[in-house]
Chain A
Amino acid sequence: MRTVSLLLGAIMAVAVAAETPRLTPPDDLFKAGTLSPVMPAPKLVLDGSDGKPLTLERFHGKVVAVAFGFSNCGEVCPITLATLAGARKKLGPEGADVQVVYVTVDPERDDANQMKKFLGSFDSTFVGGVGTRAQIDAAEKSWGISSVRNTNADGSYTIGHSSSIYLINRKGGLRAVMPYGHPADDFVHDLKILLSE
């Protein structure tokens, strides 16, 4: 009888623990900037460089890192992408639950193939977001992104753009924003927190 009571007690304890929601980690644990209360990430309705429609709902259940840039970027974008690829690698098997989404701010030059080639040189799992000028403008507006085209004397151009990385939790909430320049270890640190949420 006593054994049965103990067993029932243990089962109930496990059930209660499973039902208890995980607490949101406090903001001061993060290396990145944090938003609270956590609200749903702005919408993305684009075409993916993998040939599928790109929405954040596609990656529900994963931690998503969203950033904006362009494939002809000579400095900021390659560093950001190399950092994110490095962080995913350092996470080991846990990295499989991290999805990087890189949205172009240069739809005139970046189509799905171009983005796939560019992102694939860093990590084959990265997905690019492409679309029409109107779609990209809408995405930039809802994410608070600024991008300015600077034309060179020879007619070529480059684009100055927001360079932060947006970290979205498994439930689709925009949880943290990592400013440009942080090392891969800082991403690993924060992604681990988000993966354990």
Chain B
Amino acid sequence: MNKRRAWIIAWPFIGCAIAALAWAGFAPIKVPSHDELFEIPKGTYARRMQGDKVEILPSQIRLTLGLNDVLLLRNLDEVPQVFGPTIMMPGQSFRLPFEQAARYNFACTAHASGQMTIVVEDEPVMPWSKIHWRVREWWENRTR
């Protein structure tokens, strides 16, 4: 009797979990923008010069083709900053679209290490990859 009651209570939860997995695996992923924005704040260079090794930008940025596949960097600092292929003047933005999944290493003066890695992944198409993408996004947003 107790076992039957436990099943009756458990079924709605199991049903919800299956529905959530089905949604996460099959519903199309929608993002508000393809741009993944990062800003180099004012005073970054001055802080570096004073010996502050604080990281302004993550040393690794993950992008996904078809979703957030454009890196948008804004230099709000008062000095030019070199990011990978280009030099950004104060107040300037650099928008870099990606079309191939790969690991890209760039020089970046906004980092204490002088390096930045961008990992571009394929668009999640299969249900499992969609679930994986959603869980990771949720987790990264939670820990940001």
A residues in contact (CB < 8 Å) with B: 27-28, 30-31, 33-37, 39, 42, 142-144, 146, 162, 164, 166, 174, 177-179
A-B contact pairs, 25 of them (CB 8 A): A27-B95, A28-B97, A30-B97, A33-B85, A33-B94, A33-B95, A33-B97, A35-B86, A35-B88, A35-B92, A35-B93, A36-B93, A36-B95, A37-B91, A37-B92, A39-B89, A42-B87, A142-B87, A144-B86, A146-B107, A162-B85, A164-B86, A177-B96, A179-B84, A179-B104
Known: A146-B107, A164-B85, A179-B84. A35 touches B91 (CB 8 A): no
The 10 closest A-B pairs by CB, nearest first: A144-B87, A164-B85, A33-B96, A144-B82, A177-B86, A177-B85, A27-B95, A34-B95, A179-B85, A36-B93
* Number of A-B residue pairs at CB separation under 8 A: 51
Q: Is there an interface contact between A39 and B85, defined as CB atoms closer than 8 Å?
A: no
Nearest-Cβ distance from residue A148 to partner chain B, whole angstroms: 11
B residues in contact (CB < 8 Å) with A: 70, 80, 82, 84-89, 91-97, 99, 104, 107
Max count, chain B CB within 10 A of own CB: residue among A33, A39, A143, A164: A33
Q: In the docked arrangement, what's the CA distance between A174 and B80, Å? A: 14
Across the interface, name the chain A residue whose C-beta is closest to B107.
A146
Q: In the docked arrangement, what's the CA distance between A31 and B80, Å? A: 24
Chain A residues with Cβ under 8 A from B85's Cβ? 33, 162, 164, 177-179
Chain B residues with Cβ under 8 A from A33's Cβ? 85-86, 94-97
Chain B residues with Cβ under 8 A from A35's Cβ? 86, 88, 92-95
Across the interface, name the chain A residue whose C-beta is closest to B82.
A144
Chain B residues with Cβ under 8 A from A177's Cβ? 85-86, 94, 96
Max count, chain A CB within 10 A of own CB: residue among B70, B89, B107: B89
Nearest-Cβ distance from residue A175 to partner chain B, whole angstroms: 11
